[in-house]
Amino acid sequence: MDDSPKLAGRFMFPTFRTKYEGISDTLNIRKTKYYKPKGGQTIDLHKEDYFKDLIKRIKQSVLRITEDFYLAKKGYKVEVVSMWLNSNQLHMNHPPHNHTNTFISGVLYLDGERNTYPPLKLLRPYQLPILPIVDKFNEINSNIIELPSPKDEVVFFPSYLLHFVDHNLNKKPRVSISFDSLLRGTYGEIKEDGLNVGSFKI
């Protein structure tokens, strides 16, 4: 008889990734008014026509995540409610933070190979208080997920997750575009008989 424990039900804190091939070259961000050569952020990019094609692709990706993984009912519309450019010069970093009042956040990387710059790091919503010494970290025994940052890749994650980026040790700036998205539609508790309890719209 095999008494070895097997995985049963479990919560997941998902991340997603895709690649917008060629988007970085199309944007050519260092040649635009949005880029800050000395580092820092440029906010409100979602209000600029220059980024409308990127926003369209982000909306499509978030909608796929919503329907394919969260199994949301049809009819929700994705809105990119904020978008900004990050330029991390040598020794600059982003400390741990999260984005409240939004659904899915994400980052598009505009330069570099897989390990050129420090990766985006996500913190488990609850830290494991007692952990034995392990042979190898995995999604069950880790408190941090690392997502590398190669050019043209986009990562998506639930906005509530704390995330951060370590100091850039590359002399070349780590340049990315971050964004927050929201689902416009009806919220509330759906009962088996089809009634919506506490219904409200966002």
- 87-142 per-position pLDDT tens digit: 998 898 889 999 989 999 999 999 998 889 999 999 999 888 889 999 999 989 99
- pTM score of the predicted model: 0.91
pLDDT tens, position by position, 128-158: 888 999 999 998 999 999 998 899 999 999 9
- pLDDT value at 191 more than 70: no
190 vs 116, which has greater pLDDT? 116
Binned at pLDDT 50, 70 and 90, residue 192 comes out as low
Helix-strand-coil percent breakdown of the chain, rounded to 5? 15, 35, 50
139: helix, coil or strand? coil
Q: In the chain, which ranges are E strands? A: 16-19, 40-42, 77-88, 94-97, 104-109, 120-123, 144-147, 153-158, 163-165, 174-184, 186-190, 196-201
pLDDT (tens digit per residue) in 61-93: 999 999 999 999 899 999 999 999 999 988 988
- Provide the 8-state DSSP code for 96: E
Contact status, residue 121 vs residue 164, Cβ threshold 8 Å = yes
